[in-house]
Amino acid sequence: MAPRIQRLDHHTMEKYENIWFGIAVVMSVLLAVAVFASFLSGTIPRIEDEGGGGHHLEGVKNGRINSRNFAGTPFATPGLVDNKDGTYSAFVVARAFAFDPPVLKVPAGKPVTFYLTSADVLHGYYVEKTNVNATVVPGQVASFTTTFRSPGPLNIVCDEYCGVGHHNMLNKIIVEAPQP
Ligand code: CUA
């Protein structure tokens, strides 16, 4: 005996259609409210300061930089800068497939503020044996401050896949003992 299939008449089907349509409308409204509420409460990520830490960098506006031309910015001459107040700034450019400078020498026990940017695609900046791990985005400046405690060499590894040479994108930080 074939199972009895319950057929809905036209009127009942329309009723169900209207119910599901109503549910879809309610969900759309809730989504719109959630998006609008998060917009108002500022949970959308925004870049608001001058490239991190409230520092002002030449040629960098709101953390943004022209990734094709570093002229007039500190990234034109990457490397360590002694701020003459016991702190240091390190400017690093990532490009496929190396970091510039290839070897960054930093003093042990002094706060170093890093400014990182990319000349081409997305890269990562991970320093082994530390909690330093930043994403390097073209057109933006990433910034953080850290102090290296013990002297010695540390490998910098790109940990964002960036192309065929990604696995070779490996440079060094050399932490130097303070000069007596
Ligand atoms: Cu640069 Cu992976």
pLDDT single digits (tens) 69-104: 999 999 999 999 999 999 999 999 999 999 999 999
Q: How far is the CA of 152 from the centre of ligand 1 (A)?
A: 24
Are residues 93 and 22 part of one domain?
A: no
Both 100 and 172 in one domain: the answer is yes
Q: Which of 59, 89, 82, 90 is nearest to 72 (CA)?
A: 59
Q: Which amino acid appears at position 11 of this protein?
A: H
Q: Which two tokens stand for residue 138?
A: 């073209």
Residue 54 lies in a domain: no
| pLDDT tens digits along 11-46 | 888 899 999 999 999 999 999 999 888 877 765 544
Which residue's CA is minimally distant from atom 1 of ligand 1? 123
Same domain, 160 and 93: yes
Question: What letter does residue 23 receive in the DSSP assignment?
Answer: H
Whether residues 39 and 78 fall in one domain: no
Instruction: Please tell me whether residue 113 adopts helix, strand or coil conformation.
Output: strand
| 61 belongs to a structural domain | no
pTM over 0.75: no
> 118 and 39: one domain?
no
Position 62 in a domain: no
